Amino acid sequence: MSLSQVLRHPALWKASEHTKVRAAVSTGYQRLDHHLHDGGWPKGALTEILLPHHGVGELRLLTPLLKTYSQKSGFILFINPPLIPYVDALNSQGIVCHQLLLLHTSSTQDAVWAAQQALTSGSCSVVMIWSDDPLAVLSLRKLSLAATQGSNWAFLLRPQSYVSSPSMASLRLTLTPLKNGCSQIHILKQPGGWSDQRFSLKLLTEQQYWTSAPGSQWPVPECNKRQTVTASYKQYEAPLSESDHLPQTELSTH
């Protein structure tokens, strides 16, 4: 192979060129898109997101993508999420939950196998895998190749303790919570672009309303329960039958 052929290889990154390496879809965050060489989440690639612990905004980071593709024909598969997804919260973000599949496996090996099948089946547009266990380079390569073959999006969510471990993921980044609903993104590796970029995103805007006060100290609006019950009955056009009335004890304000 000649030098000119080597230089034309798509896997070779040249700093003097700014052409996109592969197709991508916007992350939904303009600042993140700006720092990603392809302008969004790379399609047909494995993206690895490293977390200090679960629940730091990783789902919010992917919400725009999940919202878009939950409204299309392909399924979204969650493999071994650490917590059961809250359907009402997902719906409030515009994610269509009947397109969401949830899978729990008994081993990491089974999780990798299931992800491979889902990525190459043509039935899933997005596959997310959570794993706290070490993954062999071969397993990561299988996931990367499956995403490329299926031309879809694969996300691997792991602890930040694996930040120095070798990985076949095309895009690697860390997500670290800051104050006031902000999170720091650190791009460790990306196809065709600069690594070691750090910047912040405001992911959890509602955090300003969070409080550490116990529930007994939360303000509770006062209302007249008896008046509320009476008003609800007045909405009926026809008189209630005797069997329709609630027992007196259930109407009591005490």
Strands (E), the chain: 24-25, 41-42, 45-51, 75-79, 100-103, 124-130, 153-159, 171-177, 182-189, 197-202
pLDDT above 80 for 227: no
Is residue 25 domain-shared with residue 114, that is, in the same domain?
A: yes
Beta bridge partner(s), residue 24: 42
At 36-92, the pLDDT tens digits run: 998 999 999 999 999 999 989 999 999 999 999 999 989 999 999 999 889 999 999
Full domain range(s) for residue 239 = 217-251
Mean pLDDT computed over 121-142? 95
Confidence band of 212 (pLDDT split at 50, 70, 90): low
Spatial CA neighbour of 75 closest among 142, 14, 130, 125 = 125
pLDDT at 39: 92
Across the chain, mean pLDDT equals 83
What is d(CA 108, CA 158) in angstroms, rounded to the nearest whole number? 12
Confidence band of 162 (pLDDT split at 50, 70, 90): very high
Residue 76 within a domain: yes
Is residue 197 domain-shared with residue 223, that is, in the same domain?
A: no
- The reported pTM is 0.77
Domain count for the chain, please give it: 2
What is d(CA 195, CA 186) in angstroms, rounded to the nearest whole number? 8
What is d(CA 7, CA 10) in angstroms, rounded to the nearest whole number? 8
> Does residue 136 sit in helix, strand or coil?
coil
* CATH number of 86's domain: 3.40.50.300
At 149-160, the pLDDT tens digits run: 999 999 999 999
Contact by Cβ (8 Å): 146, 154: yes
Is residue 99 domain-shared with residue 146, that is, in the same domain?
A: yes
Mean pLDDT computed over 155-171? 95
Residue 117 within a domain: yes
Mean pLDDT computed over 17-23? 63
Is residue 98 domain-shared with residue 121, that is, in the same domain?
A: yes
Mean pLDDT computed over 215-226? 62
CA 107 to chain CA mean position, Å: 22
Confidence band of 205 (pLDDT split at 50, 70, 90): confident
